[in-house]
Chain A
Amino acid sequence: MDKIEFLTEKAAQIRRDLLKMIVNAGTGHTAGSLSNTDIMTVLFYEVMDIKVDDPDWDDRDRFILSKGHSVESYYTILADKGYFDKEELNTFCQYKSRLIGHPNNKVPGVEMNTGALGHGLAIAAGMAKAAKMSKKNYKVYTLMGDGELAEGSVWEAALAASHFKLDNLVGIIDRNNLQITDNTEKVMGLEPLAEKWKSFGWEIIEVDGHNYQELINAFTKSSEIKGRPTLILANTIKGKGVSFMENKAEWHHGLPSEEELAQALEELSSKGEVI
């Protein structure tokens, strides 16, 4: 199986697993997790240098999920990678489970607690700065939502990452154009988004956030950029992979019925239908 085939199948499996987890829990941020599944799959199965049996390995690449509410794809991937037993996914959001509704650093593989939006980039910048100060080679990735870009703290960190020349930092925006209320441009306009980041001193790479080859190429290119951080503007579809969830704000934390789950799993059963 070649790389792209593997990622295609893996992402479909992650989507199926996270939907089952959400239905089992009776809660979850459904569409956002489907939106970023392909980005996360490429990062965790192809790009990042990590050791599952040594989650705190000093030289590991770091990942911060700034859009912490999309935790379902994250937990599902960590379980699939072997950071913890897949059975534990059944405890998602249950009483005293460590798999709470936002990333929690008691879960192996999760670096930091997130959930309050607009925090991830500053934390990632701190980690990237630490690598520079200690002359370490690890890279830091943070995945942001587009809605959270209205938080001023994002732009404080964007200034700093550029100022400190953090070329070991990659920000990724899951640009699905939807936030809980409506289209991002109706709620609080972000465009021209690429130009904004460019003017802050970032290298911009715009990709189809569901195209594995484009994502791989973008991450590869980010490693070649020197003297400034990289922003991967990943154009995505909220609810990607499930026809009736795609591009619908109401699926932000919509809960599928048993019938809807069955239909979703059916749609995701064949790899070819995801891309």
Chain B
Amino acid sequence: MSKTANKKVVCEKLIEYGKKDRDIVALTSDSRGSASMTDFGNQLPDQLVEVGIAEQNIVGMAAGLAASGKKPFITSYAAFVTMRAIEQVKVDVAYSNVNVKIIGISGGVSYGPLGMSHHALHDIAVMRAIPNIKMIMPADRYDTEKLMEELVNYEGPVYVRVGRNAVEEVHQSADYEFEIGKADQLSGGSDLTIIATGELVSTALKAAELLEEDDLDCRVINMHTLKPIDEKAIIKAAEETGKIITVEEHSVYGGLGSAVSQVVAENHPVPVKVFAIPDEPAVTGYPEDIFKEYGLTPSNIAEKAKEMFD
């Protein structure tokens, strides 16, 4: 599997579409380098708006740009744009329902060594609670490419979280169907379903491979869209496999696990095991260290999955 950072794909696609549509505007908050948006600035300088370190302003201005016919894409740190500017996201973007795309970069524990200030482990919970705005976490470069294509053609508020680092591909090629709001089933299976989101989908796939060795047939679902979440796919998984595991780079509160549990509990109660970051300031270190600390690894997920069959 080759590895590519999703944020690079975001920039490549924004340049590609920005050249075709001059109303596409990228906004940065001193985040050009971090967001891999330097190329965009170099190639399309008239379509880049740099606001400096001012997250409230980046969102407010994007709302004004959108209301005046521009197609703004904010590329700003997930940790800050979904906290510092959350009222602007709620009121200026979601409530006014304007065509602003927010790409939260370096999400999750991408900035693992930098501490809780720079961790973005709250954004699924926060963004899901705001009406009108969709939330998406692409798993790999193919998801990101297809998502960007959908985003330029979709009119309305969307929040996207990507990580900082290169991620493994979970698709063999671009030859699959990607649709906002529709779960992407990566493998069939009848014993257990692992539902994962974002850049931990590859971890879920590896856990499933380990479980195959124990003759456990796993369904793996890439739940790239957290809102609107694909309830049908979740209910179907509960009905057909009877056990569900969720895997996410997010707080255990209000994330994928919470969302899936709600759907399962209301529609077809089956055991659900949630793999996420516990309610504490996450340990610091590189992402791999943090995932290991909290058991977000293929071996631990597989081991705990087997216990569900005891």
- Report the bound CA distance from A116 to B94 in whole Å: 13
Least CB separation from A152: chain B residue: B56
Q: Which residues of B contact A134 (CB under 8 A)?
A: 23, 68-70
Interface residues on chain B, size class: 20 to 34
Q: CB < 8 Å: which of B52, B56, B61 contacts A129?
A: B61
Contact B68 A126 (CB under 8 A): yes
Contact B95 A157 (CB under 8 A): no
- Report the bound CA distance from A41 to B49 in whole Å: 34
Q: Count contacts on A: residues with CB < 8 A to the other chain.
A: 32
Least CB separation from A124: chain B residue: B64
Contact B63 A126 (CB under 8 A): yes
Q: Which residues of A contact B87 (CB under 8 A)?
A: 116, 119
B291 CB, nearest partner CB in chain A, Å: 36
Contact A157 B67 (CB under 8 A): no
Least CB separation from B23: chain A residue: A134
Is there a chain A Cβ closer than 8 Å to B60's Cβ? Answer: yes
Is there a chain B Cβ closer than 8 Å to A48's Cβ? Answer: no
Q: CB < 8 Å: which of A58, A113, A153 contacts B69?
A: A58
Contact B92 A129 (CB under 8 A): no
Contact A119 B54 (CB under 8 A): no
- Report the bound CA distance from A112 to B62 in whole Å: 13
B82 CB, nearest partner CB in chain A, Å: 16
User: Which of A58, A62, A114, A130 has the most chain B CB atoms inside 10 A of its CB?
Assistant: A130
- Report the bound CA distance from A89 to B98 in whole Å: 26
User: Contacts A105-B96, A112-B96, A126-B61 hold; do A159 and B54 have CB atoms under 8 A apart?
Assistant: yes
User: Contacts A127-B65, A130-B68, A159-B52 hold; do A114 and B60 have CB atoms under 8 A apart?
Assistant: no
Is there a chain A Cβ closer than 8 Å to B25's Cβ? Answer: yes
Which chain A residues numbered 138 to 190 have a C-beta less than 8 Å away from chain B? 140, 152-153, 156-157, 159-160, 163
Contact B60 A122 (CB under 8 A): yes
A114 CB, nearest partner CB in chain B, Å: 7
Is there a chain A Cβ closer than 8 Å to B265's Cβ? Answer: no
A110 CB, nearest partner CB in chain B, Å: 10
- Give per-residue flags for B66-94: 1 if the beta carbon is below 8 A from chain A beta carbons, else 0: 11111010000000000000011011100
A121 CB, nearest partner CB in chain B, Å: 8
- Report the bound CA distance from A53 to B61 in whole Å: 27
Contact B54 A156 (CB under 8 A): yes
- Report the bound CA distance from A163 to B51 in whole Å: 9
Q: Which residues of B contact A25 (CB under 8 A)?
A: none
Q: CB < 8 Å: which of A112, A159, A160 contacts B63?
A: A112
Contact A119 B68 (CB under 8 A): no
Q: Which residues of A contact B67 (CB under 8 A)?
A: 111-112, 123, 126-127
Contact A157 B96 (CB under 8 A): no
Contact A157 B65 (CB under 8 A): no
- Report the bound CA distance from A105 to B69 in whole Å: 16
Q: Which 10 pairs across A and B sit closest by C-beta, in order of nearness?
A: A126-B64, A122-B60, A130-B68, A126-B61, A156-B57, A127-B64, A123-B64, A153-B56, A156-B54, A126-B65
Chain A residues at the B interface, C-beta cutoff of 8 Å: 58, 62, 105, 111-116, 118-119, 121-131, 133-134, 140, 152-153, 156-157, 159-160, 163
With A112-B64, A123-B64, A159-B52 already in contact, 13 other A-B pairs whose C-beta atoms are closer than 8 Å = A115-B91, A116-B87, A119-B88, A122-B56, A122-B63, A123-B67, A130-B65, A131-B68, A133-B47, A133-B70, A153-B88, A160-B51, A163-B52
